[in-house]
Structure 1
Amino acid sequence: MPAFLVAYVRWVERFNWFFGRIAMYSLIALMGVLLWGAIARASGQPPIWTDEMSQFILMGYFMVGGAYALQVGSAVRMDLLYSRWSDRTKALVDILTIGTLLFYLGVLLWGGWESLQYALQYGERRRGLWRPYMAPVKIVMVIGIAMMLLQCTAFLIRDIARWRGKEL
């Protein structure tokens, strides 16, 4: 494989690993928000922002941590035949199926980008009492989808190398 493709794969995997590890610590912030909400409710002063903020933090955790989950192989995989195949057959099937995932993520990124532009242009707010701006959430969503796309292209390059009998 050309050196620039090897460098690309290594850069993407370092990038997603770093931000995936950071995303893991967002669960501490999530626990803090939920704890604050529970204590405030028990004291008779329920805050209006804790439920939505916890949803936003959890969404960020899933979106930014998704590429990391793919990278470390913690995503669920249906394995009826796959484990019996040779490495070259696995690589070929992965090459074919990753195309579908790349298409799906591309459409998702396009829709997320359009939604982000709308949120920025019109100052979109969520309905409810708190009415937070939606742009920060949508920015995290677009970044998370882009990270997944980068990770999937790195997988595609690795699979092509494996199919050709080389390892990166």
Structure 2
Amino acid sequence: MELNCKALYIIFCAFSPNIYKKMFSCEDVEEVWDKLEVTYEGTNEVKETKIGLFNLEYENFKMGPDEDIKRMFDRFSTIFNQLKCFGEEISEDKLIRKVIYSLSESCDSKKTAIIEAKDLKKLKLDKVIRSLLTNEMMSLPLKKEKEKKIKKQGIDVNVIALKSSKCNHVDTSEDGD
């Protein structure tokens, strides 16, 4: 009983005032733990649903069109950390493959270079990200220079030109008038 009181005291000291208000009526540590578990993790059914949603988010993960490597990796880290918190383990080489194959088309050359040059099973995720960030930083000045040249030439990169062709259309509809 003495240990239970000490444990409750220590746990209650760690709570914010809002959480303390919800938990102070608990009489033993096990009751506090159960209440915290249901409040913050949910029941088993809720956990399974969350795991399913996080897995779906992981499977559908792609780099956004205007997203840089850092923002993409921050978003990816959030997803796999949430999965890890719920006990889902993903091997590092699978994480690396997911990051590489999720990159936008503008990173195709880097993607190919990483896949061909390195044994993905021996790589570390942070090393891949550092490599991608370095590549992005190095290509940024070239990209800006290319955009400046295009603007100087008066070409709007957002304009799409369509090729026209003649079409011989025969009206086969019958008008009763």
Q: Is the helix fraction higher in 1 or 2?
A: 1
TM-score where L is the length of structure 2 = 0.28
| The structure with more radius of gyration | 2
Larger RCO (alpha carbons 8 Å, 6+ apart): 1
